[in-house]
Structure 1
């Protein structure tokens, strides 16, 4: 199935972000500005499945065609971090192919202006070809707080000019978020990238926020479980969500299943919505419980 899907992508939309399976047309609309998004995301899958022919074709495209700095549309910092950097670095971790590491460093070099010089926080979007930024706000998940990709890259290429700036950026980001205003101990899911202060009055563990908390755990484990402060930050954040009543049991027709909602700190009410990234919540809570127990 993977070989067939990849073959159709290669035939009809090679180098595009996505292929529409019915019309067999490459990406349109929002994804037009994201070349090779599916291809780079698929690298680690192709390697793990042993699809060597498909892997070689994909890496060849990355080496010959992928130039993040030439992208002429506005790119989200989240997609850059998790899809481009995350895709390239996870594939490098599996294969050790230097092409993937070099492309990762090149992406970071272009992305550097998107880290706010005062707060260290990533802005919402960047136009790589010109460096134009959307600096006013960003979702909590996307600000680059304790981002595993950045920590990994800083260990791989500590002497690279662009990479050498990452420890300072990570420290600045952490200082900003630790000092940010948190009503009832809750982080708000939209923040000002220039100050780290909340822009919204809503706290959530769903889309736009969950990776912020998850990165506390990921980085804690990634750094050898030596940074006790990170684990304490996670524990305090989760404790605040419990005290705000964001976790609920579905007692009416739900067979006691756990549900999480969003909480508005001004209106003091809940928004009964779970969205696509809430699928990560079970894993995050399980890992958090394990680490806190240890």
Structure 2
């Protein structure tokens, strides 16, 4: 008798009677074994956590130097620390109500394509540049630009989590919590960049995952960065010089970029919220007080110039104003810190509202175009103090300033100001227009336009003046209305898609997703390499002819691709009513 005949049931009828009871017994046994293995002592079935958190906790490894052992030379006494504000308000609803949203196959296809690009870049980084700050997307290998502390790993942590890449997230998180912040060839660290990328990345990854090791590493880094405030007036410099911090010889800068020390409030406030230690919030609260005290004493009252004297706590020595480089996130953080603090400190909102009055009056402009495009941009303003305080607008636009559309939208919804919403829409579409009229489909880093003249209202159109354009353009081969493309590069920046994402989440306008897809395809066509994506030197050349640069900064993964992924994701993923994103696109949970 062969084995097969022995295993065959005696009859079909017999099998139909006996099989259910046997299966039930096997299933019951398996369920019992699984519960026995997975339920730890003192843990109930209802307490079993999602798969992201069920695995072995990630092990924290401290850096080789402990900054908490460094004695402060200009300490704040414990009874003088400013505590976190209490009494959170019921904040207005920011995000559009999506009652009938359906995530269709078309949108999922787009999202999966973005995820594929992310994974290609991430896998190349793992294979070619693991532990380095960024990948060289053309030549291969990596390079260090921010202390050699694996900026790409930390910047990409929350993106890995958001994209549901569990194994990759845990692998990256395990590496992030082992970073030795004492191991660097640099003698100083950029306080702003390290805060928004590394501290922000660690805090956000903790907010999303709950992995305690990430918070411990964030606190360790926060302790080091906190020593940048150990100066006679508690104003930090743009750089944290390690030896100067240890010897007590640090001073605030006399002409530092305003966005440096003034854009730390979200990360330090969140660190205080999560650890319960008020000293981090106290540090940035003092910078806010300096801004508050000087807001009306600048040469353009209501705004702060691009450079500030933190050492002497003066804002009167510089007279250039912008929402671009040097001061951009200062303004962004006013309204976002207000939200992060649950509306409990209204001074942040008041400072923002006052600043935007001046921005609207003196920095925003409608470009003169032959088609009367319904768009706005933010330029640069100079106050001629030696000429009676005349205020001159330079209609030069920076890609960095494209965040302003999202800022106005977020502020308009938070403060219920419909005009700010209108401005935010037009600013967002302005940057989209800047992409669409370039031969490569991408907007330059810096370019000049022609501002409409004599408009009584910023939102009014102006007639096309062909003679004015012909007489002053330096770029006659570009779209009519362009004055120049002074810096024609595209550096994989996220600001334009950031505002598109915010506008979609606030308005629910589905046409934004089609526009975003056009942007994504143009970027991919021009920047894709064998290893990932590269910045390009000139967006004004014909498609397919742009020279690629061997650079792929960490924000490509941490911001740009994350925003593209989110705009093609269901609106409940990182809801703007539950999270506020820092300037590096790291979402922080809004306390309720």
TM-score normalised per structure 1: 0.89
Q: Residues of 1 paired with 2:328 and 2:312: CA distance?
A: 20
Alpha-carbon distance in 1 for matches of 2:233, 2:333: 18
**In the TM superposition, what whole-angstrom CA distance separates every residue of 1:133-162 from its partner, at most 9, and x where no partner exists?**
684242222214561111111011124xxx
Q: Give the match's secondary structure for 1:250.
A: coil
Moved more, 278-287 or 261-270: 261-270
Partners of 1:285 and 1:67 in 2: CA distance: 39
User: 262-271 or 13-22, which moves further after superposition?
Assistant: 262-271
Could you tell me which runs of 5 or more consecutive residues in structure 2 were left unpaired when the two chains were aligned: 1-115, 386-390, 418-592
| Partner of residue 136, structure 2 | 20
Tell me which moved more, 129-138 or 257-266. Answer: 129-138
Instruction: Work out the CA distance in 1 between the residues paired with 2:126 and 2:328.
Output: 33
User: In the alignment, which residue of structure 2 is the partner of 1:89?
Assistant: 203
Call closer, same or farther: CA 1:88–1:210 in 2, change over 3 Å.
same
**CA 32–167 in structure 1, closer or farther in 2 if over 3 Å, else same:** closer
**Max radius of gyration: which structure?**
2
Q: Give the CA deviation at 1:239.
A: 0.9
Aligned-partner SS, 1:149: helix
1:236 is aligned, of 354, 368, 380, to: 354
2:379 to 251, 261, 264: 261
Say which of 265, 287, 292 aligns to 1:173: 287
Q: Distance in 1 between matches of 2:211 and 2:347?
A: 34
RMSD (Å), alpha carbons: 2.2
**Corresponding residue number in structure 2 for 1:67:** 180
Determine if the alignment matches structure 1 residue 142 to structure 2 residue 260. Answer: yes
1:291 and 2:414 correspond: yes
**Counterpart Cα distance in 1 of 2:156 and 2:265:** 21
Q: What is the aligned counterpart of 1:124 among 238, 243, 249?
A: 238
The residue number in structure 2 matching 1:214 is 332
Structure 1 unaligned regions, length at least 5: none
User: Which of 176, 182, 198 lines up with 2:298 in the alignment?
Assistant: 182
Per the alignment, do residues 123 and 17 of structure 1 end up closer, same or farther by CA in structure 2, a change over 3 Å counting? Answer: same
Structure 2: distance between partners of 1:45 and 1:167:
26
How far 1:10 sits from its partner (Å)?
A: 1.1
- Alpha-carbon shift at residue 236 of structure 1 (Å): 0.8
1:166-222 CA deviation, whole Å, 9 max, x = no partner?
Answer: 232233112211122322312111112213323431111112212111111111111
Does residue 248 of the first structure (1) align with residue 371 of the second (2)? no
CA distance in 2, matches of 1:76, 1:32: 8
SS of residue in 2 equivalent to 1:183: coil
2:127 aligned with 1:4: no
Higher fraction of helix: 1
Match of 2:583 in 1: none
Q: Deviations over 1:237-269 (max 9, x none)?
A: 1112233x2111112346131011111112632
Describe the SS at the equivalent of 2:271: helix
Q: Helix, strand or coil: the match of 1:50?
A: coil
* Higher mean C-alpha deviation, range 73-82 or range 269-278: 269-278
What secondary structure is seen at the aligned counterpart in 2 of 1:264?
Answer: strand
The alpha-carbon deviation at position 270 of structure 1 amounts to 2.4
